[in-house]
């Protein structure tokens, strides 16, 4: 964590030496890398190497195409694939599950609180239908949104907001939305056939869910321990 913070601090300091066009290119690369599934320290290592190469090319007055190529996204993809290639399928699967569970828990608790605040009796409860939707969003739409942020890095810059909004939804974002709808309909169909359609209106209270929340947090913690041990012994 300390090394990651130092690299980030150094990167912010060094990027001030880039000229206008190179700074915009570097910020686009930063946006793409930051929205990847790599660890924080890996992202900072990559970005530090990139800015060192760009600064050296700028000093020598060499075109950035010699370093980055004609497509910075392809450049970023190749680096991410190189860092991800030595990670096992189990690692990537557990990492995906961990993030999905985390998003599900945080969004569910947030919704519980919002509904509770609107309810005069402060009854913290969400329906099974809401829970299904939140889970589908957490496991499908959020990863797709992260991918969309890679494809449209200009979303991170205010002077490009209007253009990005009018350029329409990206392919990965659209696919994620379609998959969410499909997943919700499939789960509803299965539950409706095996149980009853009345199950969708059943209210799950925060109090009754505490043991399950603790269990999910424990699973998230064990996955994090596994990831740290895996990275340590690589």
* DSSP for 19-58, written as a single string: -HHHHHHHHHHHHHHHTSSS-HHHHHHHHHHHHHHHHHHH
Residues 165 and 93 in one domain: yes
**Final residue of a domain: which of 66, 84, 102?**
84
Q: Among residues 69, 92, 80, 19, which one has the least CA distance to residue 46?
A: 80
pLDDT in tens, 146-191: 665 555 554 444 444 433 434 445 566 666 678 778 888 888 888 8
- The encoded tokens of residue 5 equal 């913070």
pLDDT of amino acid 148 = 59
Residues 144 and 176 in one domain: yes
Residues 217 and 149 in one domain: yes
Work out the burial of residue 140: count CB atoms within 10 Å of its CB; fewer than 13 is exposed, 13-18 middle, 19 or more buried.
Answer: buried
Range of the domain at 37: 2-84
Residues 100 and 166 in one domain: yes
Residues 103 and 119 in one domain: yes
Q: What is the mean pLDDT of residues 9-33?
A: 88
Residues 43 and 78 in one domain: yes
pLDDT of amino acid 161 = 41
pLDDT in tens, 198-223: 888 888 877 788 888 899 999 999 99
Residues 223 and 202 in one domain: yes
- CA pair distance 217, 121, nearest whole angstrom: 28
pLDDT of amino acid 222 = 92
Higher-confidence residue: 86 or 43?
Answer: 43
H helix intervals, the chain:
2-14, 20-34, 40-59, 65-68, 72-84, 89-118, 128-136, 142-151, 161-166, 171-194, 206-232
pLDDT of amino acid 218 = 94
Residues 137 and 221 in one domain: yes
pLDDT of amino acid 234 = 61
- CA pair distance 208, 206, nearest whole angstrom: 6
pLDDT in tens, 93-151: 888 888 888 888 888 888 877 777 776 555 567 888 888 888 888 887 777 666 655 55
pLDDT of amino acid 54 = 92
Q: What is the mean pLDDT of the chain?
A: 79
pLDDT of amino acid 5 = 79
Residues 7 and 63 in one domain: yes
**Final residue of a domain: which of 84, 108, 130?**
84
pLDDT of amino acid 51 = 92
What does pTM read for this prediction?
0.62
Q: How many domains would you assign to the chain?
A: 2
Residues 20 and 135 in one domain: no
Residue 55: pLDDT band (50, 70, 90) is very high
Q: Among residues 28, 105, 34, 31, which one has the least CA distance to residue 72?
A: 28
Q: What is the mean pLDDT of residues 19-44?
A: 86
- CA pair distance 131, 216, nearest whole angstrom: 15
**Final residue of a domain: which of 84, 114, 147?**
84
């Amino acid at each position: 964590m300390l090394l990651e913070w130092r690299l980030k601090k150094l990167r912010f300091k060094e990027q001030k030496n880039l000229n206008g066009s190179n700074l915009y290119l570097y910020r686009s690369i930063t946006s793409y890398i930051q929205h990847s599934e790599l660890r924080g320290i890996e992202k900072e290592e990559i970005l530090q190497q990139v800015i060192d190469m760009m600064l050296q090319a700028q000093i020598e007055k060499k075109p950035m195409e010699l370093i980055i190529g004609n497509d910075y996204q392809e450049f970023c993809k190749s680096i991410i694939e190189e860092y991800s290639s030595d990670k096992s399928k189990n690692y990537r699967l557990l990492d995906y599950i961990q993030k999905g569970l985390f998003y599900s828990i945080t969004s569910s608790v947030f919704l519980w609180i919002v509904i509770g605040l609107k309810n005069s009796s402060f009854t913290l409860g969400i329906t099974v239908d809401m829970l299904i939707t939140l889970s589908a969003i957490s496991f499908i739409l959020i990863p797709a949104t992260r991918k969309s942020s890679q494809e449209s890095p200009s979303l991170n810059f205010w002077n490009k907001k209007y253009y990005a909004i009018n350029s329409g939804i990206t392919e990965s974002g659209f696919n994620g939305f379609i998959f969410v709808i499909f997943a919700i309909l499939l789960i509803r169909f299965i539950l409706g056939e095996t149980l009853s359609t009345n199950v969708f209106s059943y209210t799950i209270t925060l109090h009754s869910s505490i043991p399950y929340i603790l269990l999910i947090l424990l699973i998230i913690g064990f996955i994090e321990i596994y990831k740290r041990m895996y990275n340590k012994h690589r």
